[in-house]
Structure formats: structure tokens, C-alpha cells
Amino acid sequence: MANKITPSHDPFARKFLTDIEVAKDFLTIHLAPEVLAKCDLTTLNIESTSYIEDDLKLHNSDVVYRLELNDHGGYAYIYTLVEHQSTPDKLMPFRIIRYQIAIIQNHIEKYGEKLPLPMVIPLVFYNGVKSPYPHSSNITDLFDDKVLYDSAKLGTFKLIDLTTMDTNEIFKHGKVAVLEMLQKAVRVRDFKAIIGTIIEVLLLGKTSGLKQSLVDRGILYLFGARDVEEIKPLIEKIKQQIPDYGEDIMNFIDAMKHEGRQEGRQEGKQEGKQEGKQEGKQEGKQEGKQEAEQKIAQALIKFGVDDSIIAKATHLTQSQIEQIKKSIN
């Protein structure tokens, strides 16, 4: 048959499924009864967006319906994927999840991060060579350990809520206690009241074999999160009770103290006054301040702290930080 016409599946399927009356009949027939009961088909609208990847559009087409729910006026999307390819995709449940997420993301971008999020109900319209459809429609079956998957399903997570976790419970966690306690410490209003607890957890980290570099990094984390004046009592406690900290971290502590003193002693002389404008001239002390900032930056760089945090702590420019990095290397 030399004149055989090759059917174009996409326009044919979409022509039917984007007709509102046909679409209502299609959904009435194929949606689960409990889903259909919640959908107000009189509000059915057809979205113009396609979510199929470019390399799959030759063998797939999709139609997205948006409608209101009967119970509380929320929205739902019905995602209909028409699969034309002769070899069905065994990863179809995974693909469907990706499309569902994309639809929800698009909804958020249009209407804002308002809760609850809309449901996305998928339908896959199959007419391939193999019959019946040879693969599972359940994402659970794609995983090796189905029992484990049921306890950690996609989109769910176990919450580790430090804001409600008791300190005594944290101290049972060994090396992890240092991470958890220092994270918790940055949010505490009365930082002075928990300095003793911080010392205890740092000592716990050392006795449990936590790497020195991680303990040092934890101290630097506190320096970046709390005010310098709050940290001073902690510094003194560290020197008294944990004297064997590495040289780099102690240099950093001394540099922080030096910087605090320098900022408190800065003096300026004002020369001349003009309406709406004042010009000042700082004298002395600047070289000392710059030296302190450079020492702080050197210590932070050695511990791999991000440049943005270094700039915030020292007031150095990115160019100055790069120069210090070169001198260290």
C-alpha cells in the first residue's frame, strides 16, 4: 500500500480530549467513582501547558484539566497522558510523579504558595502493541524493598525538630550531639545561659572521637551566627576547660577579640561641616584593624568557610579575600 497514510496520534487524541463535552464524558467514564464524586465537572477548564519532555513528544501527548472540588472549593488537576509508543515505559509511575510535581510547581507560580496544594490526578491512556499493559502503575513496585518504601514514601519525611528536642536526649547522640546542640544554640535567646552546655557538648565530641576539624568548624559556626560580645564568655570557658584546641582556632579566637577591641577604640576627627554633609577623617588604629581582619579571614579560609560569611565577619572585599587565599596557597 504505497499510499498508506501514517496516522498522527497527537492531533487526533488532543482534538477529542480538548473538546469540553467529550472531556466531561471521558472523565465521567474513567475517573474513580470516589474521585468523580468530589469533582465539579461544570467548572472544567483545559490548561494550555504540556509537560512532556521534547524527546518524548513524538510518542506521547498530554492534556491537563483544571476543575473545582465540590466539598470546599479547592482545585484539582486531571493529568491525562496519551501513550502512543509501541513499547510501554516501565518507569511510567516515576514519569507521572515528575509531571505531577511540575503541575503543582506551575500552580504555585501562578497563584502563590497558598495551602492546601491542589491534587493532581493522573490518567494514562494506552493503546500499545503489548496487551494487556505489561507494567505496574504503582510507584511502589519500582523499588527493591517495598516494605522500606512504604515507611519512607516519596514526598514524606521524618522530622528532626531541634526546637522541641530535649537537651538530655541530644546528649545521648554521641558525635551527632555536637551538630545538634550547636545548631540549637544559635537560636537560643539567652546565649549566656547555655555556655556551660556548649562546653559539655564540645567535650563530649572530643571524648567520643569526633574529628578535631569538625569541632573547630562548630566553633566557627557559632562565631558566624552570634554577636561577638555574646561569644566572649564562651571563648574564656574554652581556654579554661579545653586548652588543647588547635592553633588555628585559637588564633581565630584571639583575632576576634582583637577586632572587638579595635572597633571599640576607633576615633575620628571631623574636619569641616557642610549642610547635609559631614566628612570625617580616621586616625591611627586602622592598620591594627586590618591586620585583625586578615587573621580572621585566614583562619576562616583554612576551615573552608564560604566567602560570603568571611566578608560579613571581616568586612573585607571579595578581592581582598582572594588575595589572602593566594598568600595561603
The per-residue pLDDT for range 19-47, each reduced to its tens digit, is: 999 999 999 999 999 999 999 999 999 99
Cell 473545582 identifies what position?
A: 68
Instruction: Tell me the three state secondary structure of residue 221.
Output: helix
Give the tens place of pLDDT for each residue, 63-85.
999 999 997 778 899 999 988 77
Q: Is the pTM value of this prediction over 0.75?
A: no
3-state secondary structure 253-311: HHHHHHHHHHHHHCCEEEEEEECCEEEEEECCCHHHHHHHHHHHHHHHHHCCCCHHHHH
Distance of alpha carbon 180 from alpha carbon 264, whole angstroms: 34
pLDDT tier at 193 (50, 70, 90 boundaries)? very high
Phi and psi, residue 69, nearest 5°: -95, 145
pLDDT tier at 12 (50, 70, 90 boundaries)? confident
Q: Which three cell numbers stand for residue 308?
A: 560570603
Counting Cβ atoms within 10 Å, is residue 206 exposed (0-12), middle (13-18) or buried (19+)?
middle
Q: What is the DSSP letter of 47?
A: E
pLDDT tier at 119 (50, 70, 90 boundaries)? very high
Distance of alpha carbon 195 from alpha carbon 219, whole angstroms: 12
* Rg of the chain (C-alpha set): 32
